[in-house]
DNA sequence: TCTGGGGTCCTAGGACCC
DNA sequence: TCTGGGGTCCTAGGACCC
């Protein structure tokens, strides 16, 4: 399909199939939008390369990161290995990812979101919730607002986007899932049960393969089946939080508001490797590269963190994580590298015996960079560090010896290479 | 049919403190 | 000398989402 030319309206409908009555008397209106770009990476490729339009396209490198709807119709999905996708669909066009292009497209779409309403909660690069409650008087019905949003994204960014509209986040998300691709679906608050109960349990947010299997084993196949079970039973099946959550969703209770103030709690990076022998030194170097990448991103985001988690995956796909907490938050390469390497060396035997296929690192317990870090402009140039010692002494007197380190100070402030100084 | 890379939240046991 | 209950933090692992 020619996405850049696709006309809004092809998939627009309400549930039930009519436009009005999105507000029930005395009830809440359906004013939460879930907007979700369709096959995002693949759609950007089809937008930028017209010869790919109408063809099965996958974006991938080894595995399928995104598949166009033409490929999805032939059974391709993420994260399927690329060679399997080629077997299913021999005429598939495989495109290497261009993350900068996707980031740029995402920014432009999010600008449109923010011009639609100030209450936007981004969920990922291609997905957000929008609360349009405050807009209904001036901007028309949620259906109109959503239709306009879709039309703007198609016209100004050239991408298809599906919007689900409902009274709660969960229902809006289910609605967008049902309406995909390139659709618009409004769920009438008066008819939520009719909409929700026939759906399979796997559609419930938070039900993955494991939970789905547990529910199926007990004969619960549809949302209606789940709704017929007591909360206590659900808690016994799948645990306290998940059980309560499921019970709430099945009865379309979802009090979560669209939250504009969410910040990431951790920043990490990982790298998968094939099976086969690698020297421990090679792996250490890889880990240090990951530390560098992660701490750089932390400094760019002006965040500091305390908990360093090293993630390992072995030849047999068993996984292990090991975490250590630093006494004080930092975004400096040196202390985080020291902790990560320490963890790594403590498990050298394990790593060499079982073989690694993935190494990862994430830093959690994040705060904003100004918390716990003194903000200073150092009064010397790149090479001249003569003022450093007295500045450090000063800071240590004020914040304690352990709080202030040269590495964190220098890295935090400027990002240039730390001159090697005695401790 | 062998599984990428970025995250979130929950559970559960142990240490430690009051 | 033995003991309760509550709270917080840390760590490991599991499930889930896009």
pLDDT at residue A396, rounded to an integer: 55
What is the pLDDT confidence band of residue A340, given thresholds at 50, 70 and 90? very high
Taking each helix axis as running N to C, give the angle between helix A240-250 and helix A231-238, from 0 to 180 degrees, rounded to the nearest 10: 140
Question: Footprint of strand B, using CB within 7 A?
Answer: A 62-63, 65, 78-79, 81, 83-84, 124, 239-242, 264-272, 297, 317, 357-358, 360, 362, 364
The string of pLDDT tens digits covering residues A20-29 is 333 333 457 8
Taking alpha carbons only, the member of A270, A12, A52, A120 closest to residue A67 is: A52
Averaged pLDDT for residues A131-150: 92
Q: Is the peptide bond before A337 cis (omega within 30 degrees of 0)?
A: no
Nucleotide at minimal C1' distance from the A275 CA: B2
Q: A181-237 pLDDT, tens per residue?
A: 999 999 999 999 999 999 999 999 999 999 999 999 999 999 999 999 999 999 999
> What's the burial of A17, exposed, middle or buried (CB within 10 Å: 0-12/13-18/19+)?
exposed
Question: By the 8 A CB rule, do A93 and A100 touch?
Answer: no
Report if CB A324 to strand C is under 7 Å. Answer: yes
pLDDT digits (tens, 9 = 90+) for A85-130: 999 999 999 999 999 999 999 999 999 999 999 999 999 999 999 9
pLDDT confidence of residue A397: 53
Residue A13 has what pLDDT? 60
Q: How long is the CA A335 to C1' C8 vector, in angstroms?
A: 25
CA A50 remoteness from chain centre: 29
pLDDT at position A371 is: 60
A61 pLDDT band, cuts 50/70/90, is: confident
Average pLDDT of the segment spanning A312-333? 94
CA of A124 to C1' of B11 (A): 26
Residue A277 is predicted with a pLDDT of 86
Chain B nucleotides with an atom closer than 7 Å to a protein C-beta: 1-12
Q: Determine the pLDDT at residue A136.
A: 78
Supply A268's token pair.
């990490």
Domains of chain A (ranges; CATH) run 1-191 (3.30.70.270), 197-250 (1.10.150.20), 266-410 (3.30.1490.100)
- pLDDT for A402 equals 40
Q: For residue A310, is it left (φ>0), alpha (ψ between -120 and 50) or beta? A: beta
Sequence-distant (6+) residues with CB within 8 A of A102 are: A40, A41, A44, A125
d(CA A158, CA A152): 9
Q: Quickly state the pLDDT bin for A298 (edges 50, 70, 90).
A: very high
Q: Which residues of A are catalytic?
A: 127
From CA A323, how far away is CA A305, in angstroms rounded?
Answer: 13
Share of chain A above pLDDT 70, in %: 81
Q: By C-alpha distance, which of A247, A258, A166 is closest to A204?
A: A247
Is the pLDDT at A31 greater than 80, yes or no?
A: yes
Residue A389 has pLDDT above 50, yes or no: yes
Q: Which pTM was predicted?
A: 0.83
More confident residue, A2 or A410: A410
State yes or no: pLDDT of A374 exceeds 70: no
Q: Which nucleotide is nearest to A37 (CA to C1')?
A: C18
């Amino acid at each position: 399909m020619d996405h850049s030319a696709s006309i809004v309206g092809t998939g627009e409908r309400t549930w039930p199939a009519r436009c009005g009555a999105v507000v029930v008397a005395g009830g809440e209106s359906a004013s939460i939008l879930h907007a979700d770009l369709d096959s995002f990476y693949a759609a950007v490729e089809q937008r930028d390369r017209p010869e790919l339009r109408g063809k099965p396209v996958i974006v991938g490198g080894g595995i399928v990161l995104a598949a166009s709807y033409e490929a999805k119709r032939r059974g391709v999905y993420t994260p399927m290995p690329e060679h399997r996708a080629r077997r299913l669909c021999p005429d598939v066009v495989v495109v290497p990812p261009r993350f900068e292009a996707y980031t740029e497209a995402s920014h432009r779409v999010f600008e449109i979101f923010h011009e639609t309403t100030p209450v936007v909660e981004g969920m990922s690069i291609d997905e957000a919730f929008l609360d349009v409650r405050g807009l209904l008087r001036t901007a028309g019905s949620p259906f109109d607002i959503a239709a306009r949003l879709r039309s703007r994204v198609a016209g100004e960014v050239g991408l298809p986007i599906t919007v689900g509209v409902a009274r709660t986040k969960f229902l809006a998300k289910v609605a967008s899932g049902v309406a995909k691709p390139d659709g618009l679906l409004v769920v009438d608050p008066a008819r939520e049960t009719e909409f929700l109960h026939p759906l399979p349990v796997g559609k419930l947010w938070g039900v993955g393969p494991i939970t789905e299997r547990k529910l199926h084993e007990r004969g619960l196949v549809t949302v209606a089946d789940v709704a017929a079970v007591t909360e206590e039973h659900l808690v016994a099946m799948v645990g306290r939080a998940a059980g309560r959550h499921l019970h709430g969703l099945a009865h379309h209770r979802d009090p979560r508001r669209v939250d504009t103030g969410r910040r990431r709690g951790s920043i990490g990076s990982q790298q998968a490797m094939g099976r086969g022998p690698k020297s421990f030194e090679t792996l250490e170097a890889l880990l240090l590269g990951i530390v560098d990448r992660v701490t750089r991103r932390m400094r760019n985001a002006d965040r500091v963190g305390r908990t360093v988690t090293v993630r390992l995956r072995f030849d047999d796909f068993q996984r292990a994580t090991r975490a250590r907490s630093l006494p004080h938050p930092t975004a400096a390469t040196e202390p985080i590298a020291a902790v990560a390497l320490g963890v790594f060396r403590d498990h050298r035997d394990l790593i060499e015996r079982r073989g690694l296929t993935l190494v990862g690192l994430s830093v959690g317990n994040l705060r904003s960079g100004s918390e716990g870090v003194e903000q200073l402009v150092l009064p010397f140039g790149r090479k001249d560090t003569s003022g450093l010692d007295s500045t450090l002494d000063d800071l240590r007197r004020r914040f304690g010896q352990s709080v202030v380190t040269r590495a964190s100070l220098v890295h935090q402030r400027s990002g240039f290479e730390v001159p090697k100084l005695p401790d």
